[in-house]
Structures are given as C-alpha cells and as structure tokens.
Structure 1
Amino acid sequence: MLLPWLAHWITAVLACRAVAQYSSDQCSWRGSGLSHEAHRRDVEQVYLRCSEGSLEWLYPTGAVIVNLRPNTEPPSGLHVCIKPHVYSQGSRVYLENSGDLRLLLADRDHRGEVRCFSLGEGALFVESVPQTDISRRITAFQYELVPSQGPGAHLYPYLHPASAACEPCSDEEVLMAVCTSDFAGSGFFGGAAAGPDERSLVTLSRLFHQKSGIFVWSGARGRRWTGRVFVPARCGARRGADEYLLTGSVHFGEAWLGCAPRYSDFHKLYVRAKEAGANPCHIKTRGGIPAQPAVE
C-alpha cells in the first residue's frame, strides 16, 4: 500500500505528463538532485527512445519517472532489463503503472544484478531515499530492450525459467540465428571460469559477424578469435569435444549462448537450405581462417 503523500505525489505527476519535457539525449539521462529545492518533492519526467542506454542521478532527491518509448514497431514481446552499477545507492526503483508501484530494486540491494519486466507493464519510478547526507549518493543503472522470442532467447535466464534453458533450436531458428544473432561463428568450447560465473572460454576458427568486441583476434598466437560466453553448466558443453556453430546475444557487454548445434549438422542444414533457396542470408561455411568477419 502506498503512503498517502506518495500516492498524491504520483497522481499529480501523472496528471501533468502531457507537458513533461523530453530528455535532450534520446538514449541516456544524467541529472542532479542539487537542482531541486530542499523543501520540494520534485519529480523529473524523462523520455528515452533507444534500445539501450543508461541513467545516472547524482545526489538524488525527489523522484525520476523514466518512460521508455522506442522508435520501433509496436513493442509487443519486448522486455526491459535494468542492471544497476555496483556503486549505485540512494534510491529505490519501482515499476509504476497508473499510480500502482511494484518494487524492482531496493536501495543498495542486488547491485550488479539484472531485473526485467515487460515494456507494456509501465514506467520506471526512481524514488530517492530520504537522508541527511547526499554528498556521496549516486543512482546509476543501464537498461536494454530485449525480445522475449527468437533464436536463443530461452537461454537468457532473466526472461525465462531455468527449465527452458538448453532446449535445442529448430532448423528455422538455427538458420535465422546465423543472420540475426549478436554474434555467430564456428569453434570449440574451452575451460569454464571458476565459481558460479558459468562463462566458458570459446575459441572460434571462423567469425561470421559480431555486434561488439566480445571476441578478440589473436593472430599472433594461433590465428583464432577468443572470448568468453555464458553457457549454463547444465547444458553440458564439453571442452574440445566437437566443433559447434556458436550464436548468441550480448547483454550489458556480456555474451550469452544461443543456438549452438554441431557444426557438421549445421553445414548439412545450410547446404540443403541453400539448394532450396531458403537461406535468410549467406555465409562462407568452408575455407581458411579469415582475419575479418566472413559474411557475404
């Protein structure tokens, strides 16, 4: 149940949303509570229209409502994932919908962990925690818009239960994953990182494409692409056993495994689809080791 003053506060803010100012940066927002008068409970309206970005609130006082409205097709099936920085403190983060609040992150709680919700569920209501000294308080988090469907989406643990992981992709999903995943290549699983990290060292003999610099070219030491990918331990990736097609997504700078059939099986599938004219894109499946991404 909301405190009476908080309910009145939110109601007043919702009533004046039509005249709210847009953020000058369409992806990220940075503000300071020092601009607020100490006796007022100011609420800042922020509108962000990108698929990823960040919020940084120095010396938080009052509250910030973050409206995520991407310039894309109707956002059905999209989720919002937020990841607070490890130093983030001074605020509580709620999911707000028509005046109702659901707590997502408490102050200093779960720092560095990810929380997700459906984009249609509402806006983020970031409320400062009353305190006498705000000099060292910074509230900061990253956000991403994440599709809940598609190749490998079931492996992202913050959207789906653990029971959904490790399910094999269909032939159609595999072919689409090569084209649309954040990274795609062929290679081998190496050793896993110690502890609960579940990141496996991956060595790629060929990189078809990648969204960011997750995989690094080590031409001076064996001419390979190397990087670490999150692979749930229960999925049974075995070190050096077989060559795999490796696809996946990148979230908050970290790679997560998606569709990953044995490469020999994928190659047969790719050849059949190519002969039938059913490939959504074309790649160089054979040949030497390229020093650059190999997409036709």
Structure 2
Amino acid sequence: MPCPFSGLVRDSNLRAVQQVRLQCTEGSVEWIYPSRALRVVLEPVHRARHTTVCIKPFRGFQGASLFIEHAGELDLLMADDERSEQVHCYRPDGRHKSALFIQANPQGDISRRTVGFHYEFLRKRSSVARLRRPPQTACQPCNNTELLLAICNSDFVIRGSILNVSHDAVRQMSVVEVQGGRVYRQRSGVFEREEGPHTTSWRGYIHTLLACHVRPGDGLFLFTGSEHFGEAWLGCAPRFRDFLVLYHRAMRDGQNPCDFPLD
C-alpha cells in the first residue's frame, strides 16, 4: 500500500516535523520534495502478532537520512550517501510504538527529489532469516526435509519452466523469468495470468543472489520461496519429476508434513 507525502511546508507556523501513522502490516512510504523531517509511526492493528519489522529503502534513496526511533533515541539506519538497498530488520520495543524518522538534508534544488522505503511486519523468524542470510547459506540446495516443508510453508509454489535468467551486478542479484502451468499458492500478485487462445499460463520473476550463479535449465521445475517488498525470492526449486519421486516416497512412509495436489 503506497503512502505518498509532500515535504513542502508553505506555512512557517507548521511544525518542522511532519508525522504520519500507518496501520498496515506492510506497505511503502514515498516522500516527495523532502524538507525538514518526517516521523512515520508504524502501528498495525494486530501489532502484537508480529515480532520483527524489516525496512528496505527505495533504489536511489538520496537527500535524506533514515533513523529508527527507540524510546525517544534515534539510531541511524541509513545515511544519505550509502546508496544501499540492503534490508534492515529490527525488533520493536514492546513498550513503545515502532517509529522511523527521516531527516531531509539541505538541498539547493528539491524539485525532483523523492525518498522512501518499503516496510513489512514479520511473524516468523524463518522469514527474517531468509531476508538476511549470507550467500553461502542461501545458495545451498534444499535437502528432502526442507523441500517437503517448503511446499507447505512457502509464500509461493509454482510449477513451470525457465524462460530467461538475467544478472544485475549492481544489485548483486539474478532474476529468473518463469512461465508456469500451475500456481499452487502465492501470497500476492507476483505471478500474473496470461490468457491464450487455447491455454492459460502464468508468468513472473523470481529473484535470487548473484552469488548463487543461477543458469537457465530445460524442463519443468517446482519453484518455491518467499515474497518480500513485492518481489518473489527463490527458496527450493527441484525438477518437478524429482519432486514427484520424493513426495510419493514420503507419502508411502507417512512422512508428508502436508498434503499437496499432484494434478
């Protein structure tokens, strides 16, 4: 849910710090024409159910510094000159509301300035771990137990093929373009339906770390993973025929953690 705010202050009697309150568990803040300071209070209706907040600055974040507010004290999260899209996660103090403070830096021309960030409240520690895990962990193939759990717990599960893989050296990530015949689950709309004259397919993009050296491959895969900040991130991705062998064996031995449709 985007939340745009203008930083222009036309009345000198207005407070130097503008304040907004957001009650969504995830969304984004876009501050147009940043001037002075903006305090953003994150106060979702069911805050008690969520243990961690993760923040991802917009690409090209420039002209301001971002702080986390803890009990009236400000801790620097990202300085103006960092130019980073790194995800920062923290646990809010249960006695105080979670608040972010954006301090605009003096600019000669703010006519085209925009700063902002995405945010998510997370409940599962595993979700936080996926966002922050190092490359050597993120790139390891899933074992059988992890794969069987992935089809139960992942934000998305899709059966499909790889159309293309592109690499972004600046963001240190790879993007896998996927075309699927079946979407078993997705938390949001990262995979979109494509209607054809004789068939329906799904298409979307899955992100992974550049260090994982993902390459195109033939055949059908079962893609699973997590969704964060409007992007799908790769988890387990076995070939579909290999998954079927594993699933039937686990079903025979009574070791399936959940039922999965095989049609």
Tell me the TM-score range normalised by the shorter chain. 0.7 to 0.9
Q: Relative to 1, partners in 2 of residues 1:274 and 1:192: Cα closer, same or farther, differing over 3 Å?
A: same
Q: Deviations over 1:153-198 (max 9, x none)?
A: 6554xx1222221234454543343244232122333432154341
Q: Is the 8 A contact 1:36 1:61 kept in 2?
A: no
Q: Is the 8 A contact 2:56 2:88 kept in 1?
A: yes
Out of 170, 193, 200, which is 2:176 matched to? Answer: 200
Query: Partner residue of 2:222?
Result: 245
Classify the secondary structure of the residue corresponding to 1:198. strand
Alignment of 1:124 onto 2:108:
no
Correspondence 1:131-280 to 2 at 5 A = 131=107, 133-146=109-122, 149-150=125-126, 155-156=130-131, 159-169=132-142, 171-196=144-169, 197-210=173-186, 211-217=188-194, 219-220=196-197, 224-235=201-212, 237-241=214-218, 243-274=220-251, 276=254, 278-280=256-258
Query: Partner residue of 2:22?
Result: 48
Classify the secondary structure of the residue corresponding to 1:231. strand
Give aligned-pair identity as a percent: 34
Query: Partner residue of 2:87?
Result: 115
Q: Relative to 1, partners in 2 of residues 1:199 and 1:177: Cα closer, same or farther, differing over 3 Å?
A: same
Query: Partner residue of 1:14?
Result: none
Opposite residue 261 of structure 1, the aligned amino acid is P
- The higher-RCO structure (CA 8 Å, 6+ apart) is 2
Q: Is the 8 A contact 1:60 1:128 kept in 2?
A: yes
Out of 41, 58, 62, which is 1:67 matched to? Answer: 41
Q: Relative to 1, partners in 2 of residues 1:176 and 1:67: Cα closer, same or farther, differing over 3 Å?
A: farther
TM-score of the two chains, using structure 1 as the length reference: 0.68
Structure 1 residue runs of 5 or longer lacking an equivalent are 1-26, 287-296
Offset of residue 257 of structure 1: 0.6
Offset of residue 126 of structure 1: 0.7
Across the aligned residues of Structure 1 and Structure 2, the Cα RMSD in angstroms comes to 3.5
Question: What is the distance in 1 between the residues matched to 2:113 and 2:134?
Answer: 34
Q: Is the 8 A contact 2:193 2:200 kept in 1?
A: no
Offset of residue 92 of structure 1: 1.5
Q: Is the 8 A contact 2:219 2:239 kept in 1?
A: yes
Offset of residue 129 of structure 1: 1.6
Query: Partner residue of 2:68?
Result: 95
Q: Relative to 1, partners in 2 of residues 1:143 and 1:182: Cα closer, same or farther, differing over 3 Å?
A: same
Q: Relative to 1, partners in 2 of residues 1:127 and 1:221: Cα closer, same or farther, differing over 3 Å?
A: farther
Deviates more, 1:64-73 or 1:219-228: 219-228
Classify the secondary structure of the residue corresponding to 2:76. strand
Offset of residue 102 of structure 1: 3.0
Q: Is the 8 A contact 2:65 2:105 kept in 1?
A: yes
Q: Deviations over 1:221-246 (max 9, x none)?
A: 98643332223354454533553221
Question: What is the distance in 1 between the residues matched to 2:38 and 2:22?
Answer: 12
Q: Relative to 1, partners in 2 of residues 1:240 and 1:222: Cα closer, same or farther, differing over 3 Å?
A: farther
Question: What is the distance in 2 between the residues matched to 1:237 and 1:115?
Answer: 22
Offset of residue 217 of structure 1: 2.8
Q: Relative to 1, partners in 2 of residues 1:136 and 1:261: Cα closer, same or farther, differing over 3 Å?
A: closer
Q: Deviations over 1:82-125 (max 9, x none)?
A: 23254x544221122234433333336516x2431213275311
Q: Relative to 1, partners in 2 of residues 1:67 and 1:164: Cα closer, same or farther, differing over 3 Å?
A: farther
Question: What is the distance in 2 between the residues matched to 1:124 and 1:154?
Answer: 22
